[in-house]
Amino acid sequence: MRDNTAKEAFECFPYESFRPGQDRVIAFIAESLRKGSNVLLEAPSGFGKTIALLSAILPYAKSNNLKVIYMARTHKEHERVIEELKAISRKLPVTGVALRGRSEMCLLSEVHTQQDYRLSLELCERLKRDGRCPFFKRFLEKEKKLVQRLRHLMKQPLLASEIIELSRKEGVCPYEVAKLLLPQVDVIACSYMYLFNEPIRHRFLRFLGKDLNECIVVLDEAHNIPDVAIDSLSDVISVNSIQHAYEEALIGPISSEARFFLRMWRKAIERLSKNIVEDEGEVPRDLPFKICEEVCNASLSEVIFELEDLGRMVKDMLIREGKLPRSYASRVASFLKLWQYAYDRDDYFFVLMKERTSRGESLKLGVIALDPSPLIRWLSDSVHSLIMTSATLEPVDAFIELIGISEESASSLIVEPPYRRRALCLVTRGITTDFKKRSEAMYSKMVDRIVEVVQHTPGNVGVFTASYEVLEGLINAGLENELKGLNKPLFVESPDFTSRDNDSLIEKFKSFAHKGGAVLLGVQGGRNAEGEDFPGKEMMSVVIVGVPYAKPTPLVKARIEYYEKKFPGKGRLYGYLLPAMKKASQAAGRPLRRLDDKAALIFMDYRFATRPCRRLLPKWIRRSLKVLPDERGALARELVIFFRSSN
């Protein structure tokens, strides 16, 4: 390996001057790569992490012939990587591409509209195989010429939208064009799924042109990674899918034993559902094995094999009929395969969940991983270097322990945000969402204090509650009417919203930032409390109503027990307290997106001031947290002084 100095990294930094701390981060990353260690970097939003990371990584990666895979959650973040690469390319020749999912890049509407990646993959493969995708046909005809043209185009890093546009003009498939580019470029910006989801990963690695040990992987917003890994290792199906698989089995060539299994399995689950309390219950992990053994006279492996066969037949039939190749038998088979794998592992839990939506109640069956570390450790062992970055990684030692990478292999750096002068952090005494203390009087007091915050904030206000139950409690206690009196519209998020519904809600809310202000009501851990930015006047105060502890469901208890066994004395901390405080910290950080943002952060639950919660808040909040007395007007006094002095 060729050693690179921080000097080379500084030389490819494309802007006139560094923001405070950027030079320190660049030197730290360059040195960590030189030593061959993984990196954990906590730096505040608006710090300019992307450009600092790319400047530090690229000279090392290029001189050692390594590829950089920069993974982030949203398209906006992927595009930012490419924009920064374009800036760097003025100083250092560098190529890159932003990759989206197949259905998002596809030019055929029947694939483009598919949300389920399995279905879009299946559909695309069939269309290609049967010669029915004109864009793929033209791609094959033009492939050689395209390679020539791309060589020229690739001198500039390419946004996904640029690849789609170029391919549209040529009449070829954008996803195939992107695949053609992957082995050629220095940097790929893409979603976590390309390495975390097993089937997607296998395909991705085939086209990468490098082994994973020749890649530096950056995981942006890394506080999400434990949840991403848990989701990737788990699977959930609706119990209706088993019924649909049974219906497919009635028309397909399948043994009576396998058909009988589906019927008995569904019945057994429905019986179990009658006994579950709090909408969730444990399912005996030997249930499908017992049914096979006791009533079906077939092994589970034989049943899975037959269901896979049936699934293929059903898909062929649907394709011939011009329909989508969706088979429930296939879906149930892949779910049972995970069940079979997880059966004797203590890091899995088998659960039955009742879900209520506006469309009614549904039963879901889950094989849920309790521990994210096997997948993250595998990744860190497979790649050249793993760089994880976020604004909320603290406490770093707990994060390292949870994700399972060895402490010796990781260097960490925490960049203190400059918020202390620009953020007012308050806790209100006398208020709590503690279940035992919830009452009409408590909700009225919360509404009263929220109104006080809204009245004394010169811009928009965000209110993020501990749960939808608390959100409903505030509405029932008259929050909307009180705000009407102040002429401040209330925008309420809903779990039933589509992404488009939510985008439109947020756009309207933000439009009030300079028109007298409005209030957004959502939940901690929800999409607006985690994934949305509200800089400037878009959110000048944020109220965190209650500590978002999970309900003590069987799954939550299983996770606490699992961690207690793995890390004695820390089960409750890792399985219960830390996830809640991560949600609260994420929600509290929504208004502080740029280094010059100013905002009031009001923690409306006295428990935030107690030791178990306070020690898990980010250091910069912890140090300036002021506890207010339980009296009307205390919040108003603080807000008036803060906004007057910071204007």
Q: Which residues bind ligand SF4 (CB under 6 A)?
A: 102, 106-108, 111, 124, 127-128, 133, 135-136, 173, 175-176
Of 194 and 350, CB closest to ligand SF4: 194
In 568-630, beta strands by DSSP E: 599-604, 626-628
Determine the Cα–Cα distance for residues 520 and 511; give it in Å rounded to an integer.
Answer: 12
Of 202 and 271, CB closest to ligand SF4: 202
Of 175 and 606, CB closest to ligand SF4: 175
Of 112 and 615, CB closest to ligand SF4: 112
CB 617 within 8 A of CB 601: no
CB of 135: closest distance to ligand SF4 in angstroms? 4
> In angstroms, what CA-CA distances link 44 with 150, 166, 352, 450, 591?
37, 36, 39, 27, 12
Of 101 and 366, CB closest to ligand SF4: 101
CB of 77: closest distance to ligand SF4 in angstroms? 23
Of 190 and 276, CB closest to ligand SF4: 190
Determine the Cα–Cα distance for residues 559 and 339; give it in Å rounded to an integer.
Answer: 18
Report residue 37 CA to chain centroid gap: 25
CB of 540: closest distance to ligand SF4 in angstroms? 44
CB of 212: closest distance to ligand SF4 in angstroms? 25
Q: b/e for 362-390, b at 16 or more Cβ within 10 A?
A: ebbbbbbbbbbbebbeebbeebbbbbbbb
Report helix angle 49-63 to 22-35, nearest 10. Answer: 30
Of 175 and 328, CB closest to ligand SF4: 175
Determine the Cα–Cα distance for residues 95 and 90; give it in Å rounded to an integer.
Answer: 11
Structure tokens at 467: 């749960």
CB 519 within 8 A of CB 538: no
CB of 153: closest distance to ligand SF4 in angstroms? 19
| Angle at the Cα of 430 from the Cα atoms of 429 and 435, rounded to 5 degrees | 120
Of 110 and 401, CB closest to ligand SF4: 110
CB 455 within 8 A of CB 488: no
CB of 231: closest distance to ligand SF4 in angstroms? 24
Of 128 and 619, CB closest to ligand SF4: 128
Q: What does the radius of gyration of the chain's CA atoms come to, in whole angstroms?
A: 26
Of 106 and 426, CB closest to ligand SF4: 106
Of 119 and 628, CB closest to ligand SF4: 119
Of 124 and 307, CB closest to ligand SF4: 124
Determine the Cα–Cα distance for residues 612 and 621; give it in Å rounded to an integer.
Answer: 15
CB of 181: closest distance to ligand SF4 in angstroms? 14
CB of 103: closest distance to ligand SF4 in angstroms? 8
Determine the Cα–Cα distance for residues 586 and 617; give it in Å rounded to an integer.
Answer: 10
Strand-by-strand arrangement of the 38-42 sheet: 96-98, 187-190, 67-71, 215-219, 385-390, 38-42, 410-414
Identify which of 465, 434, 420 has the alpha carbon closest to the alpha carbon of residue 618: 420
Sign of CA dihedral 503, 505, 511, 513: negative
CB of 176: closest distance to ligand SF4 in angstroms? 6
Determine the Cα–Cα distance for residues 38 and 260; give it in Å rounded to an integer.
Answer: 51
Identify the burial level of 284 via C-beta atoms within 10 angstroms of its C-beta, where 0-12 means exposed, 13-18 middle and 19 or more buried: exposed
Which H or E run includes 425? strand 423-428
Of 49 and 102, CB closest to ligand SF4: 102
Cis peptide before 395 (omega within 30 of 0): yes
CB of 144: closest distance to ligand SF4 in angstroms? 18
CB of 137: closest distance to ligand SF4 in angstroms? 9
Of 113 and 610, CB closest to ligand SF4: 113
CB of 228: closest distance to ligand SF4 in angstroms? 24
Determine the Cα–Cα distance for residues 393 and 599; give it in Å rounded to an integer.
Answer: 21
Which residue has tokens 């389920």?
116
CB 609 within 8 A of CB 408: no
CB of 321: closest distance to ligand SF4 in angstroms? 19
Determine the Cα–Cα distance for residues 65 and 57; give it in Å rounded to an integer.
Answer: 12
Determine the Cα–Cα distance for residues 94 and 103; give it in Å rounded to an integer.
Answer: 28
